[in-house]
Amino acid sequence: MYIYLRSNWPKFTWNREKVLKPLLEVKFLQGLLLGKMESLGFNLKEEAVLDVLTQDILKSSEVEGEILNKEQVRSSVARRLGINAGGIYTKGLINIDRDVEGIVEMMLDATQHYDRPLTKDRLFGWHASLFPTGYSGMYKIEVGRFRDDKNGSMQVVSGPVGKKKIHYQAPDASVLDIELTRFLDWINRKDNHDVLSAGIAHLWFVTIHPFDDGNGRIARAITDMLLAESERTSQRFYSMSAQIMKERNAYYDILEKTQKKDVDITGWLVWFLKCLRKAIENAEETLSTVLDKAHFWQKYSEVILNDRQKKVLNRFLDGFEGNLTSSKWAKISKSSQDSANRDISYLLEKNMLIKKGSGRNTHYILNI
């Protein structure tokens, strides 16, 4: 018997003692990360948000087996948020596919407007954004509306034709309006969503499975929305979707087990909280470039630099390919060779650069 067929659905229960420890660990780590990121300058904080949102969107799609173009996603996010990362992302120099624009639009609406009510029309808009052509791959689907089950019950299956394994069968289409109304009433009734609300909402939505396709991505968008609300900030510094992708098999296993049990969702919440904890702990890996920049500029905060030096150093910190030579310095800074040599000599004197090699092999690295 599936969980939604239980007489006490959806009155979820859980063992508070088992949930309390991982919940407190997550809240502690959330506070540490937000405090650490608050110390960054405005531009670095913007860059961190751009990196995390890009990763979150890429990984949420990857969980479903869809690979998006990273530069298109990054460009779309930057343009919509008005972030001039690298000087190209807000100038329309990258052609962006419609499906990329759609998922970016959905994810940003969820995270940047976390305080807005979640309505059926908003969900329908998200769904339409995910499938702008009305097709999922080669198959035409119902877009911007509930599934109608005209081709049979909605099932989650795996395996080849003739040997399919049914992992889950969703509620009948006839009850979707009632189920979504109850779900949305719960979300919009709560004044202060917390981390547990994000976990409950994720499970609840994928269990209802209201659409022909895209339910997982929308569930993760709702999760991000409630996590943003719990932190009272639209700035995202960790990616739950990236961690779910790392634990994809375990994610589907715990969903299947929970959906085939009663309304005690202790196991799901403990797994969700542990996954969230790892996502927060792994934030430094995602934000390593941004944090290295912050450390570098803090270390040399008292050194007076000209605009050329700042420009080239930032370029280097962004991940400069190849060796940095004086001729490359002149080209990047659009200056003469003499000016480039003076800039480099000054930075060597201040120990911000380290000289490597000799003669034609002379190049420079950052002293981080």
**Is 1.10.3290.10 the CATH classification of the domain at 3-287?**
yes
Beta-ladder partners of 354:
365
The answer to whether 238 and 282 have CB atoms below 8 angstroms apart is: yes
The answer to whether 361 and 368 have CB atoms below 8 angstroms apart is: no
Nearest Cα to Cα of residue 169 among 44, 38, 4, 30: 4
The answer to whether 328 and 340 have CB atoms below 8 angstroms apart is: no
Give the separation between CA 227 and CA 225, rounded to whole angstroms. Answer: 6
Q: What is the pLDDT at residue 89?
A: 44
Structure tokens of 353? 């650069």
The answer to whether 60 and 107 have CB atoms below 8 angstroms apart is: yes
- Which residues are CB-contacts of 228 (< 8 A; sequence separation ≥ 6)? 110, 111, 114, 234, 236
In a structure prediction context, what are the per-residue pLDDT tens digits for the chain, which is 368 residues long? 899 999 999 999 999 999 999 999 999 999 999 998 888 878 888 889 999 999 999 999 999 999 999 999 999 999 999 987 554 444 455 788 999 999 999 999 999 999 999 999 999 999 999 999 988 888 888 899 999 988 778 888 888 777 888 899 999 999 999 999 999 999 998 666 789 999 999 999 999 999 999 999 999 999 999 999 999 999 999 999 999 999 999 999 999 999 999 999 999 999 999 999 999 999 888 787 788 888 888 888 899 999 999 989 988 887 777 888 999 999 999 999 999 999 999 999 999 999 998 888 899 998 88
The answer to whether 332 and 312 have CB atoms below 8 angstroms apart is: yes
Q: What is the pLDDT at residue 93?
A: 58
Q: What is the pLDDT at residue 91?
A: 47
Start-end of CATH 1.10.3290.10 domains in the chain:
3-287
Structure tokens of 234? 């639209």
Backbone phi and psi for residue 52, each to the nearest 5 degrees, phi listed first: -70, -45
Q: What is the pLDDT at residue 90?
A: 45
Q: How far is CA 117 from CA 95, 289, 363, in A?
A: 33, 35, 56
Start-end of CATH 1.10.10.10 domains in the chain:
300-366
Backbone phi and psi for residue 270, each to the nearest 5 degrees, phi listed first: -65, -45
- Which residues are CB-contacts of 53 (< 8 A; sequence separation ≥ 6)? 77, 81, 107, 108, 111, 236
Q: What angle do CA 87, 89, 366 make, to 5 degrees?
A: 45
Structure tokens of 260? 């085939």
What CATH class is the domain 300-366?
mainly alpha
Structure tokens of 232? 């009272």
Environment class of 65 (CB within 10 Å of its CB; exposed 0-12, middle 13-18, buried 19+): exposed
Inter-axis angle of helices 120-130 and 98-112, to 10 degrees? 150
How long is the chain?
368
Nearest Cα to Cα of residue 146 among 172, 167, 166: 172
